[in-house]
Structures are given as C-alpha cells and as structure tokens.
Amino acid sequence: MSKSRAQTTYESWLSNPKMDAETLSELVSIADKPEEIEDRFYQELQFGTAGLRGIMGAGSNRMNPYTVARAAEGFALYLASLGEEACRQGIAISYDSRNRSREFAELAASVFAGHGIAVRFSDELRPVPMLSYAIRHFGCIGGIMLTASHNPKQYNGFKAYGADGAQLGPEEADRVAAMMETVTDLPGLLETIKPFEQVVEHPSFKLMGEDLDQVYDASLLALTLNDDLVRQNHDMPIVYSPFNGTGNKPVRRILSKHGFTRVTVVPEQELPDGNFPTTPTPNPELPETLELAIAQARQTGADLVLATDPDADRTGVAVRAGDDSFVLLSGNEIGLLLMDYILGTKAERQELAERSFCVSTVVSSRLTQAISAHYGTDLYLSLTGFKHIAAEIHKHGDLGGGVFQFGYEESFGYLLGTRVRDKDAVVTCLILAEMAAVSAAAGETLIDRLQALYNKYGQAAENTISIIREGKTGLEKIASVMDALRKNPFQGFEQLGAVSLSDFQEGIISRVDTGDRRALDYPESNVLLYQLQGLDFMCVRPSGTEPKIKIYFGCYGEDLDVCQKRQKTYESIVLDRVNHLLDP
C-alpha cells in the first residue's frame, strides 16, 4: 500500500537533519498517532485573502517557524517583484498577545529584511486597526499582523495587507501563494535568515512607537460628533475588557482623551496573556466571555460594557436594561445603532455630505436599506470579510468620489473614517461610548435608542448559527455540505418560499419562478444566498478562518413576534437538512 501524502511529508520532516530539536521531539511523540499525522501533514497550511491561520505546532498544516517563514518568504518575493521603490516603501509589522506572536513577527521581519525590504516594526503589541493605519500613514507597500484574532489560544495567524491598508485581495493573495509554492526547503530557509538582533541595526529598520499612537489617536478624535455632551457626562461609568489582548492601551487612551473619566478595566483580562485564562475562546460575540465584565459593571454601577478581541478588530457590547439585567447587543444591532447615530447626527446638522455612502455585507441586517433610504445615502453590499468592505470604500470613495460614512459586518466588525481599511474596535469603542453619553444626556439608554430604531425602521429577527467540525474530516464534511446544497439547492427547502438563489461561487443569481439567470458582480466565493419573501433571507457559507459552517437568517416586518416565529421556522427547516448532510 502506498503511503499517504501526510505520512510521506511527516517522514521527510522527521528525517531532515536541519530540523530543530524541539520540532523533532514533537514529531517523534506522534509517531504512533496516524490521525494526528494526517491532520498535521495532509496539506500545506493554506494562504488566502485572510493570510495564514492555524493551530500552533509541528507540521506543514500548523503555525510554526517554518510555515511562518515560508509565508513571509512568499510575501517578500511578491513585494520584491514590484521593484526597488516598493522595497524602499517597506512593510509595517505588528503582533498581538498570543503565544509566539512576537517571535513570529521578529522572524518575518528578518525574512523581509533579507530581501532588502525596509521594515517598520511595532515596538510593542498593537492592534489590527493601528497596523492598517500605519501602512497608509507611512506609505508602506504592505504589512503583516501576527494574530489569530478571536480564535482559541492554540491558534495563531499571519494576516497580510496591501498598500491600501486592507487585507490582500484574491489576486494578490494568489500571487503570494504561488511564490510560497517555490519555497520547499523550510529548514534551509531558516538557516539563511539573519538574527533579528542584527536586522534591527540596519538603517532600513525603524520602530513604530508613540509617534504612531499620537497620529492614530488624532485621526480617531477627528471623527467624534458630540464632544460637549461627553464633557457633560464625563463621569459616566464604563467597564472595558481587552480580553488580555492589544486593546488595553489604545482603547483606554482614546476614551480618556475624549474626556471619559470613569473607565474601569476587568483586572483578570487586562494584561497581555496568550493563554486567555478566563475564556477558552476570546470572542466578544460569545455571551460567556463578557461575564466578568458584566459582574464588574454591577459593582461599579456602569450601564455600558465594552469588550474587544485580542487583536482589537471586533467589539462586543452589553447594556444595562430597565430591569437591571444586562443585554448583549448582536453584531447587527451594534452596526445599526452606529449607522443611524452617525448619519442622523450629521443629517441633523446638515453636515451629511453629498454622495455619502455606507457599506455592509450580504449577510448583515437588511434594515441598513431603510436607514440609508431615510437619510438619502447610498448603500453598497459586499461579501463577508472586511477586505471586501475596503474594496467597496476604494471603489466608491477613492475612485468614485463618494464620501464614506460607515461600514460593518454582522460578525462584530465596524469602521468609520478612511484612514483605516480594516475593522477597528478602538474607534468603535470611542463612538459607542459617545453615543451612550448622548443617550444619557437625553435620559435614555442604548436599549431605548435601539427600540426607537426598530419602531422607526421595522422589526428584525436575525440569527447566525455556526456548526463546528474540526480537523481534516471536519473540513471535508463542510465541503460536502456545500457541494450537496449547490447540486440540489432547494431540496428540503421548499417551505422557505425562496424567490431567488445567488451562488457567488458560480457568479449567478437565479430566479425560482422563471428560471431566469444573470451574472453577479462579486468576487468568487463559496456562498449560497437564498432571497426569501420581502426582505427575508437565508445564507450558507463555510468560514474562511475557522473550521465551521455558518448559516444566517434575517426576517423583517412590523410585528416582532411574527418575524421571530418565521425565523425559527426557517431555522428548523435549514438545520434539519444541514445536520443530516453533516452527519448522515
């Protein structure tokens, strides 16, 4: 019997005389674990528009010095191919609090320097939005962020950015991946890399520090809308948690600069710690991750709880309700509140520019349509992933002459302003705190503001369900579900009453009643979007960064109970088929 790809690759790593002792020891420990070998070596860790992301450990399908160096080498080869000026522009590098993030960042910096590419290196951990800002501010040709965002502690990642400060688009990512394919001797590559201690002495190496903090903060403060009301309510208590990540300094600093004087931080989640000791998954969209912050809010009398994930690009919010309980806002609710606040405040002052526009995604709340219509702004929908939102900002703003106001995706990512091109939890916390102060001045809470929004624009019953399947087998099951749905998209879904189906992988939208088909003007993506009656929708897609399949539901109307019942009916129908396909 011939050996599998995984077994062959495993043995080549094990027998390589250049392999380091720690890796060899880990490889020897799995010698009698075929399933472990298969999962670690069945493929090269895939590089895409989200860069690399995976579990840390030895193996070609793991995050380790060899795979990080390979990704950095591929990216460096691509950047060097752009010419000498691109190399002089250089690359910006930052990292989060995860285990080995700083080590991987230093390794990557050494790889880039070895290709004559100038390096701007963060002198301490800084979040995703500051990396994006730095790329644009310093005129870099690209950037990388060592982070696995909100994934569990065993993960790490390598996010790659272009000169616009956005994560690489599909074409650029494919070119980097092609360059990576040429890098085959990974231990040999590590032998050629200069130590970081030598790299920092080169004239083309520069640290990013307080100078970056100051200009970034100034750019955010320029986006605030109600300085006077914040000063009047400066002592409004706020509880914040950075989840042991990068948000601690920048979020507290910007809230202080805006005038808030009673911001307390959850002590157990304050300092950087890649083990994330208080939560297995540092994701602010999960209710259990906010339990400590809510407990502290009860002690301090705070009505507002803010939280950011380890790389501070996602934001979670909990608000005290009238019955003294705390309500966790959904990703859509946060986005709708921010959108209505920004557009409404500017419109009231007659400061909403001509050709203003917002950007959301095909799986986010459809109430964005009503808000945009009310204020007379344009609305563009992108695929999920902030690189796609950034592409719309570039298309309709930088190139089209429109004025970008706000963008969001339902997975707790938000952006305002044009100096950053990735989701920014720092500015989100700033504007959420300001909006809470404005509401407090009016004798309201954010819950009151949200209810008024629903009364004005319509009720919504929305939900996102994630089904996790780990490892190679899990990914194969998820792929098989998408294949089955694509082959028979309406089997078992007859009661949904679908009006049309948009298949973003095939690039076609099909009407159910007539069979008419037309092309979609979107990048190719493994997404199936079912448009149901009215504004209702259901969407299925595999996550691009986690081992899960995600199912989205949105139901809209004047009666919330009716919307909720309809959404639960849709949910039951869809889950019945998807679960059967996952585990027949």
- Catalytic site positions: 149
SS (H, E, C) 395-437: HHHHHCCCEEEEEEECCCEEECCCCCCCCCHHHHHHHHHHHHH
Query: What number of helices (H) and strands (E) belong to the chain?
Result: 21, 22
Q: What angle do CA 157, 552, 554 make, to 5 degrees?
A: 140
Report the candidate in 97, 189, 90, 183 with the shortest Cα–Cα distance to residue 146: 97
Q: And the tokens for 53?
A: 């992301």
Instruction: Give the three-class secondary structure for 517.
Output: strand
Enumerate residues 6+ apart whose C-beta is below 8 A from 584: none
Measured CA to CA, the distance from residue 238 to residue 210 in angstroms comes to 25
Q: And the tokens for 67?
A: 């795979």
Enumerate residues 6+ apart whose C-beta is below 8 A from 455: none
Centroid of chain to Cα 505: 21
User: How many CB atoms are closer than 10 A to CB 111?
Assistant: 26
In what helix (H) or strand (E) does residue 511 lie, and over which residues does it extend? strand 508-511
Instruction: Give the three-class secondary structure for 528.
Output: strand
Instruction: Give the three-class secondary structure for 569.
Output: helix
Measured CA to CA, the distance from residue 422 to residue 311 in angstroms comes to 11
Measured CA to CA, the distance from residue 340 to residue 68 in angstroms comes to 42
Q: And the tokens for 222?
A: 């320029």
Measured CA to CA, the distance from residue 320 to residue 528 in angstroms comes to 37
Report the candidate in 284, 281, 278, 336 with the shortest Cα–Cα distance to residue 306: 284
Centroid of chain to Cα 226: 28
Contact between 49 and 81 (Cβ < 8 Å) = no
Instruction: Give the three-class secondary structure for 378.
Output: strand
Measured CA to CA, the distance from residue 237 to residue 510 in angstroms comes to 51
Residue type, 545: T
Burial environment of residue 17 by CB neighbours within 10 A (0 to 12, 13 to 18, 19 or more): exposed
Q: What are phi and psi of 212, to 5 degrees?
A: -70, -45
Measured CA to CA, the distance from residue 443 to residue 448 in angstroms comes to 9
3-state helix, strand, coil in the chain (%, to 5): 45, 20, 35
Centroid of chain to Cα 172: 19
Measured CA to CA, the distance from residue 341 to residue 433 in angstroms comes to 12
Contact between 110 and 196 (Cβ < 8 Å) = yes
Q: And the tokens for 341?
A: 């606040």
